[in-house]
Amino acid sequence: MGNQEERAVRRAFWMHHLRECSKAGEWLSSYARRHELKVGEGYHWTRVLKREGLWPLQPEGRSTVPSVIVKGKPVPRFARVRIEPPAVAGIMLPLKLQLLLANGRRAELLLSDERQLPRVLSLLETPG
């Protein structure tokens, strides 16, 4: 059996199980465990079938044309900022900025002057 044929067999296998899971109104994880299927593989095929426009199934009478995602401008986000005054009057202390990024990574910046903050925020909002 060729690679495409094997993929078609797996697609049909998971379509069957996803239909049954949906009919039963169960979570995919509990359905997969009950039927001794790999949970991760079930979620993988759910994503694949969604991407191919085959899942979720369309009710009768509705269009079967897959939806199209249009990439638009990035959504502006806000950052919580707290500026603390220097501990010693008259001495300019560096501004410590701690960031928690959407991907879970953390960053820590030391700014010599709080007037640098708007530039840093502007750079963070620029799509990469």
pLDDT above 90 (res 38): yes
Please provide residue 96's backbone torsions phi and psi, each rounded to the nearest 5 degrees: -95, 125
Residues 12-25 pLDDT 10s:
999 999 989 888 88
Contacts of 73 (CB under 8 A, 6+ apart): none
pLDDT (tens digit, 9 = 90+) per residue, 65-117? 555 555 566 666 667 777 766 566 666 667 787 877 777 778 888 888 777 87
- How far is residue 120's CA from residue 97's CA, in Å, rounded to a whole number? 10
Position 53 confidence tier, pLDDT thresholds 50, 70, 90: confident
List 97's β-bridge partners, or say none: 109
Cα 82 to Cα 97: distance, rounded to the nearest angstrom? 9
